Amino acid sequence: MRVGLFRVLFWARIIAFSDGTGRDRVKYSISVAGRVLLTGVMAVLAGCGGNGKVTVSPTKYRLLEIRGYTYSGTTPTQTSRQSFSYNSGNEPETVIYFKGKGANGAWGDNDDVISYYVSCAYSGKMDVGAYDLESEIYDGLNSLFTGFGVALGGITQEDVSRSCASNYNNQSALTMKLYNGPGADGVWKTADDAVLATINWKMPGTAADSEVTVTAPSVTGYTATTTLHDNYAFSNGAIRDLVRPGYYRHYELNPQNRPTRISMYSYSGPFSAWLSRNAASDLRLEHTDFSYGTNDVVKCHYDLMGMPTDASRDVIVNGLLSERQRFDAGLDLTPCTGDDAVTYLEGFTFEKAQ
């Protein structure tokens, strides 16, 4: 599992909470999302207020589009586009991934060339839902992408896992279908489209013991897998650990509940062994450090040996994630230093929820 790149939970909310003084305040924060990643949007984890009471204002935003750019020197060239659509409940319904700009030579219209798309169907409701749904889906896809990545034709684990995490709202089940072909009629988004994989996520009533089952009958040699997530651990209203059999992610947060470091550790034995473990003796497999500016967040990922492997930067404009920049190692061949140059950029467009 790679934790060096940000993924987005794609929530953008202004959240007002009671601080115990009788005054409602609006607080800017960054919520944990994905492997080691967090949103760069207006969001706050439940429980940050003095008495933990959280209410959401009518102002909400939802992700509309992500544009991907590669760089030649300092010149960006758009190479991809992702388009998000929602149902009447502002839940993600379809995410389409475009790989080309079509015959008219322009991005952003109906003749863009589709690579694949993901459908999202939520059901059920819980008082307390998943706090890191994107990571759970990502983990569930490990076996498919690690062992059969060539058969997936350039589809990335990161993109698939973040598709349906947009505007997650405490539902207890999710079915995702990944379509990678237009079927016999040659037309995308019709009944005969080719399904490459089906991802079923469910959480049986609590924020523990969730599972992700992935089936992909058309991928030769792959057998269905079920990935368990045993538990979330919390402190002061914020997530501290996301535990799976054999390993866990540990979240270190600052007083504003923003991650300063997220690490992945291995441990031996059943979940009960994690509960009684000596954390100091666990093997840290990798970690990502976060540093915060006025309008940006810089992330640096480190491997098992503590060596930097890659860096990225989220740019925040008016409280919303505007850009995600990914860097090379620069002339000194060491990531996370001053001479790194942008090699890939994602541009984000949000809209007010309907």
Q: What is the pLDDT of residues 37-77, one digit of tens each?
A: 223 333 322 222 333 333 333 358 899 999 999 998 889 99
Alpha helices in 5-156 (DSSP H): 133-140, 142-148
Is residue 211 a part of any domain in this protein?
A: yes
Is residue 335 a part of any domain in this protein?
A: no
Mean pLDDT of all residues belonging to the chain: 80
- Residue pair 81/56 in contact by the 8 Å Cβ criterion: no
Is residue 39 a part of any domain in this protein?
A: no
Is residue 158 a part of any domain in this protein?
A: yes
| Residue range 99-122, pLDDT digits in tens | 999 899 999 998 999 999 999 999
pTM: 0.79
Is residue 135 a part of any domain in this protein?
A: yes
Q: Which residue has the tokens 């992610």?
A: 249
| Residue range 181-223, pLDDT digits in tens | 999 999 999 999 999 999 999 987 654 578 999 999 999 999 9
Is residue 141 a part of any domain in this protein?
A: yes
The total number of structural domains that make up the chain = 1
Range of the domain at 177: 74-229
Q: What is the mean pLDDT of the segment spanning 288-303?
A: 95
- Strand pairing category for 12-18 and 24-26: antiparallel
Is residue 312 a part of any domain in this protein?
A: no
Is residue 271 a part of any domain in this protein?
A: no
Q: 143-150, long-range: CB within 8 Å, 24+ apart, which pairs?
A: 143/214, 143/222, 143/225, 143/227, 144/197, 144/214, 144/216, 144/219, 144/222, 144/225, 147/221, 147/222, 148/216, 148/219, 148/221, 148/222
H or E, element range at 122: strand 113-123
- Residue pair 140/59 in contact by the 8 Å Cβ criterion: no
Instruction: Give pLDDT, residue 160.
Output: 95
